[in-house]
Structure formats: structure tokens, C-alpha cells
């Protein structure tokens, strides 16, 4: 099964929650009127697209309907798909222009952060890059051990210390090892504790200072891992983290287990942060680089339509 088919299967709950009502909406209206737009907005909001984002989508659709002189509701379906594809955009590839490049990964407990790191490491290794992991989330022994399991699975080196060690010290050792071993990408697992933004900010600042000193000029990505099943709470988490760190991309996990996948639109519109990876399953290959066009197409495409690879 190709990833697009996995994506369609993984988005089934979101598709049923969002595009099932949308299909019924388009089928029940002959003409496009104010009631149509009001109901469209309600459907989008109920699917965690967000109030402001839903209103913007409806406004954009109104403008296109007027510009193209569309009259039938069915004619607006393709326009809505195009608008949503444009709004969500593509995540773009990770900026890994130097060797080594650094990817910092943050996120609260339970969102799938450590697992996502392992899957990203495997993805990058399979693309031909030499990858190293750094276990700088030293506040949880389980995080270190879980990362060790993924390092072994991906067959990439892991730099670690004991639980409670200084995260910056782990990063210092990892930077030295990355230079010595000719690593292309150093992925750093960091603690994500929202209950004290000052501690989080201080810790990330210290880690960044170490990296700037030990790996000067290295390309840097800071990825925030969010659990899609928490819907608008994921958006609130993202807003809080942006106060403590310069987030360059989102990793959105657990899309296969939720009907709240519409939050991806709110994240992109309200924060302007691209979604770089999405997870639609437990398997190592079920976390993939994000394609906005494929995401929207997977939800708009009817089961009876010809399947795309």
C-alpha cells in the first residue's frame, strides 16, 4: 500500500467528521446562498478547523464564487478543495544544508515525541543521510530508554547520559561525536514542560548556545510534536511553545485515531508554522513528510473515485 492510500485510511475519521457533512451540504443545496455559507462555517468549526480559519475559508469561497459567477453548490466543491489546499500549503523539506545539521525536537509528554524522533531518524537514514540521536530529555528515564530502542531499530548512534543529567552536557557530547563521526543530521530530543515556560526557555537557550559554539554555522530546525487528537488544545500548546522557542515546523501525530484533523488548517493559518511531518499509524513508515495537496485530496476523494498512487 502506497503512502497516499495509508493517508486516506488514516484520515478516515477526520474525513467522516468533516467531509461527510460537507458532501451532504453540497448535495442538499441547489443554489449558493447565505444559509449555505453559514452551514459550511458550522461544519468547518465542528471539525476543529477553528472559528477564524473557517470564516476566512468561507470568505475566500464567496469571492471565487462571485468572480467565476458560480450558481450551483456542486460547482463550489472543487473551489473549496483548491482553497483548502492553498491555505494549508506544503510543509517543505527540513533545512539540512550543512553536515552536520541539527534538528531540535520538543513536545509535552504523551504526544509521541520520542517515537516521532525515531521515525524521522529512520526516514532520513533511508534517504541516505548519516544520523545521530541525542537523548537530552534527561528528566524522564523512560524517554532515554525509548530513544535507545529507536536508535537500535534505525541502527543509528545514540549519545546519552544518566537520568537527571544536564541536557546541555548531553548536547555538548553529541556535538563532539557528530563532528568526529561525520554525521549529517544530529536529532536532539529535548524536554517539553509547559508548566514553567521560563525553565523551558532557559534550557533551550542553553542548548542552542552549546550548539552555536560547538557546531557554528550548522543548519537548525526546531520541530514541535503535537497530538492531533487533542484538536484545538494542540493549537493552544503550539501557541505556548512559540513563546519559548522559535518553532520552524510541526510534527502532527495520531491523525489516524481522531476526527479532529481539521486542526492542521488552524495551526497553519494562525501560527504560520508549516506542518513538516504527519503520522497516520504506528508503523515506522506511517510518519511521512507532509503534503498539503495530498492531505486535502485524501479527504475530498470519494471512495468510488479512481485511486491515486
In this prediction, residue 1 has a pLDDT band, given cuts at 50, 70 and 90, of low
Q: Which of the residue ranges 145-149, 253-257, 262-266, 271-275 has the most confident prediction, judged by mean pLDDT?
A: 145-149
Q: H helices within 51-156, ranges in order? A: 51-68, 73-88, 113-126, 141-154
Give the separation between CA 161 and CA 144, rounded to whole angstroms. 9
159 in Cβ contact with 189 (< 8 Å): no
Note if the bond before 100 is cis, omega within 30 degrees.
yes
* 270 pLDDT higher than 90: no
Instruction: Provide the pLDDT for residue 305.
Output: 42
pLDDT at residue 303 in the model = 57
- pLDDT exceeds 80 at position 58: yes
Pairing mode of beta strands 275-279, 249-253: parallel
Q: How confident is the model over 140-182, as pLDDT tens digits?
A: 778 899 999 999 999 999 999 998 899 999 999 999 999 999 9
When pLDDT is cut at 50, 70 and 90, the band that residue 197 belongs to is low
Residue 223 contacts residue 104 (beta carbons within 8 Å): yes
pLDDT surpasses 80 at 61: yes
Structure confidence at residue 308 (pLDDT): 38
Q: Which helix (H) or strand (E) holds 138?
A: none
Residue 100 carries which DSSP code?
Answer: S
- Of all residues in the chain, the percent with pLDDT exceeding 70 is 94
Read off the pTM. 0.88
Q: Residue written as cell 481539521?
A: 262
| 3-state secondary structure (DSSP) of residue 42 | helix
Mean pLDDT, the chain, integer: 87
* Digit-coded pLDDT (tens) for 94-108: 999 999 999 999 988
- Mean pLDDT in residue range 219-234: 90
CB atoms within 10 A of CB 74: 13
Amino acid at each position: 500500500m502506497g503512502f497516499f492510500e495509508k493517508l486516506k485510511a488514516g484520515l478516515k475519521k477526520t474525513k467522516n467528521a468533516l467531509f461527510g457533512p460537507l458532501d451532504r451540504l453540497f448535495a442538499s443545496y441547489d443554489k449558493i446562498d447565505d444559509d449555505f455559507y453559514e452551514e459550511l462555517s458550522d461544519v468547518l468549526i465542528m471539525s476543529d478547523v477553528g472559528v477564524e480559519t473557517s470564516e476566512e475559508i468561507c470568505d475566500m469561497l464567496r469571492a471565487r464564487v462571485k468572480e467565476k459567477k458560480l450558481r450551483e453548490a456542486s460547482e463550489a466543491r472543487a473551489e473549496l478543495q483548491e482553497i483548502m489546499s492553498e491555505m494549508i500549503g506544503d510543509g517543505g523539506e527540513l533545512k539540512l544544508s550543512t553536515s552536520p545539521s541539527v534538528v531540535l525536537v520538543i513536545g509535552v509528554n504523551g504526544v509521541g515525541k520520542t517515537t516521532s524522533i525515531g521515525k524521522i531518524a529512520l526516514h532520513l537514514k533511508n534517504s541516505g543521510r548519516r544520523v545521530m540521536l541525542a537523548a537530552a530529555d534527561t528528566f524522564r528515564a523512560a524517554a532515554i530508554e525509548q530513544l535507545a530502542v529507536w536508535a537500535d531499530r534505525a541502527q543509528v548512534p545514540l549519545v546519552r547520559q544518566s537520568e537527571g543529567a544536564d541536557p546541555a552536557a548531553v548536547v555538548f557530547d553529541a556535538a563532539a561525536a557528530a563532528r568526529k563521526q561525520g554525521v549529517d543530521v544530529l536529532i536532539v530530543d529535548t524536554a517539553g514542560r509547559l508548566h514553567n515556560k521560563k525553565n523551558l526557555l532557559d534550557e533551550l537557550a542553553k542548548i542552542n548556545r552549546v550548539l552555536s559554539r560547538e557546531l557554528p554555522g550548522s543548519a537548525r530546525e526546531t520541530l514541535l510534536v503535537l497530538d492531533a487528537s487533542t484538536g484545538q488544545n494542540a493549537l493552544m500548546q503550539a501557541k505556548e511553545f512559540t513563546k519559548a522557542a522559535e518553532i520552524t515546523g510541526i510534527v502532527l501525530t495520531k491523525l489516524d485515531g481522531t476526527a479532529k484533523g481539521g486542526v492542521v488548517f488552524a495551526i497553519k493559518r494562525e501560527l504560520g508554522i508549516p506542518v513538516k511531518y504527519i503520522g497516520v499509524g504506528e508503523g515506522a513508515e506511517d510518519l511521512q513528510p507532509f503534503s498539503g495537496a495530498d492531505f486535502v485530496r485524501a479527504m475530498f476523494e470519494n471512495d468510488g473515485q479512481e485511486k491515486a498512487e
